[in-house]
Every structure is written in C-alpha cells, then in structure tokens.
Amino acid sequence: MNNVIATRAVFLAAGMGIAAWAPLIPLVKNFLNIDSGELGVLLFFLGLGSIVSMPVTGFLTTLFGCRKVIIISGIFAIVSLPLLILSSSVTQLGVMLFIFGASIGTVDVAMNIQAVEVEKNTKRNLMSGFHGFFSLGGILGAAGVSILLYMNFSALVACLIISFILSLLFIFSFSGLINNHDHNKERKDKGFFFPKGIVILASFLCFLMGIIEGSVIDWSGVFLVNERNVDIAFNGFGYAAFAAAMTTGRFLGDRVISNIGRGKVFFAGTFSIFIGFFIVVSVSSFSLYMIGFFFIGLGASNIVPILCSISGTQTVMLPGHAIASIVTFGYFGIMIGPALIGFIAQSFSLETAFYLLSVGALIMLVNSRFIKNN
C-alpha cells in the first residue's frame, strides 16, 4: 500500500469517526432524559479523553511506530462508537465518551506523525491535502449518519454501518502505515515533554487557531441570529461557508505551498481570517456575512497543516513529541474557545467577542515571519 494513500485513508476515517457522533447527540439526550447541563458535562468527558491521550501519543509512536498505535486506537474507536448508543445510564455514557475521545485523540496525533514522516520520505508538501481528507471525512460522517437516520435506520444500525466503513478504511491503510521509528530511538528522550524552541510558538499559534475554529463552529449561528437578525432557518449557513472554504483550501493547499512557500501561505491565511471577521462584524448583508465566513475558513484551512509540518521538521524535540504538543494545544483551544466567547459575550457582546477573534488573527499574522524564517 502506498504511504500517501494509506495516510489519506486514516485522515478520512478519523474525520468520519468524530463527526458521526454529532447527529447522535440529540437522540442520546432524549433516550437518557437528561437536560442540557448534564449533556454538557458528558460532552466534557469526550474532550477530556482526547486531552489525556494526546500528550502521550508521541511517546507511544516513538516506542511502537505509527502503525500499531493507529490500528489499536482505531479499533477502540470502532468498538466504542456503537457502544455510545447502547449506554443505558449517564455513567456508562460518560465512560464510553471518555474512551471514544481518547481513541480518536490518539489516532489524531499518530496520523499527523505518520503524515510528517510521509512528507519527509516523499519530499513533497502533502499535509494540507491530508487534512483535507479529514475535513471531507467530517462531512461524510455527519451527513452519512443523518441520512441513515432520515431513512429510518436505528441509531445503533447507523453506528454499526459507520464502524464497518471505518474498519474497511483502517484495514485498507494497514500496510501503508509506518511500522517503526528506529531513527528516533537513538535519542534519549522518554515520556511527554513540554514544548521547546519553535514548538512553543507553534503550539501557541495552534491554540489560537483552535479558539477561532471552535468559536466559529459553536457561535457563528448564534451571531447571525441574535446579532444580525438572520432568520433562524439560515443559522447554519455561516458555518457551512466556513467548512466548505476550509475543505477546498486544504485540497488546494499543497500546490500553493509548493509554489510560494509556507511562510507566505501562513501570512495570507491569517490575513484572510482577519479580513473575514472584519467583514462579518462590519457589514449588514447576508451575502457579505457568507463571504466573511468563507474568508475565515479559507484562511484557516492551511494554518494547522503548516504548523504540523514545521513541528515535524524542527530539531529541538522529537517530531512525535512536537506534533503531540501542538495538536493537544489546538484541541484545547477548540474546547475552551467557545466558553471564552460565551463569557465575553455575556460581559460585553458577541460582536465584541468576534472583534477579539480578529485580534487573535492579527497576533498570528505578526508571528508569520517566524514561520517564514523557520
């Protein structure tokens, strides 16, 4: 199996797996008869599982190689997805969400380490395309489960179908996954290490990007309805424009990066995010709102892939440890970002919060010179 194709398959599977859960949330909420507060606590366990597993995944891939880590954690994800539906109590669901989150989190870090190794071996810019398949998997996972539910399949059957597809993707990718990191074992580093050198900056920038992405996911619809009086039926269009632009930008990103370099793409991306937020908070036209969110998604599309590539090629840390660090910080940003925006919106206004997100984009833009120099 070609390493590039295998890596694409794993990114596709990871995107499908995590997105398949989203349409099931209302069903689980109703089945367990829990309120929104209890649901929020349960969803916290999903994120907690990922946050706990991500920092140690770099160490695990150094010891065992990407193949074993990806396949074993993939098996846990495949098995735990239908068990989410079979959970008959809040406690059971919390435990299964933690396991599911830890499994997906481990796959997430390990597949990025795999991607860096493939980039090195092929001497090609491939990271953006890999992340494009993750975005595509997210679309297919959420849409696939939604369609199955619409066709009157039970939630359990829908999960089993998705798990079967994930199994095929992991089996398909098996022979193309990197089986060892012998060159890393020459180093004496063991366990999880905090970021060092350029990885500190990359982790911070990934954290800011996570805040921006998480905020758009959770707050774009609320902003359109409450701040701009858009009909509630169209509240999802902002995120749809963002997601479509991000997916498109990632599939085009490798070619653009090869032509003009990572530094220029990073600069243009952060500038696009800033312009997008400026449009969203400064105009009063639905079509311009969509253009603004499209600019945000297009700008954001290649930021994390570039940071992953840089962390994989730096020399101050083991690549696996570096990638585990930035992915963890990015995911933490996605988790904490919506809560921060909610606090700012409550204290001031949601429009003010979006202005602050544009400031975050400017901070990233200023630091783009380090990406170029690196």
Which DSSP state fits 223?
I
CA nearest neighbour of 325 among 108, 166, 151, 114: 108
Contacts of 314 by beta carbon, 8 Å cutoff, 6+ apart: 197, 198, 199, 322, 374
- Placement of tokens 């921060």 in the chain: 340
| CA–CA gap between residue 262 and residue 109 (Å, rounded) | 21
Distance, CA of 277 to chain centre:
20
| pLDDT at 117 exceeding the cut of 70 | yes
The dihedral built from the CA positions of residue 13, 19, 21 and 27, taken in this order, carries a sign that is negative
H-helix or E-strand containing 180? none
Predicted pLDDT of residue 317: 87
| pLDDT at 186 exceeding the cut of 50 | no
Band the pLDDT of 78: cuts 50, 70, 90.
very high
| CA–CA gap between residue 318 and residue 173 (Å, rounded) | 25
Predicted pLDDT of residue 181: 58
Predicted pLDDT of residue 313: 84
Using one digit for the tens of pLDDT, what is the confidence trace for 34-69?
Answer: 886 788 788 889 889 999 999 999 889 988 999 999
Using one digit for the tens of pLDDT, what is the confidence trace for 125-162?
Answer: 999 999 999 999 999 998 899 899 999 999 999 999 99
Structural domains of the chain ordered from first start: 3-176 (1.20.1250.20), 198-370 (1.20.1250.20)
Band the pLDDT of 118: cuts 50, 70, 90.
very high
Q: How many residues does the chain have?
A: 374
Predicted pLDDT of residue 100: 95
Residue 226 phi, psi (nearest 5): -85, -35
75's tokens = 């098996």
71's tokens = 């396949």
Band the pLDDT of 169: cuts 50, 70, 90.
very high
Contact of 365 with 270, CB cutoff 8 Å: yes
| CA–CA gap between residue 112 and residue 119 (Å, rounded) | 10
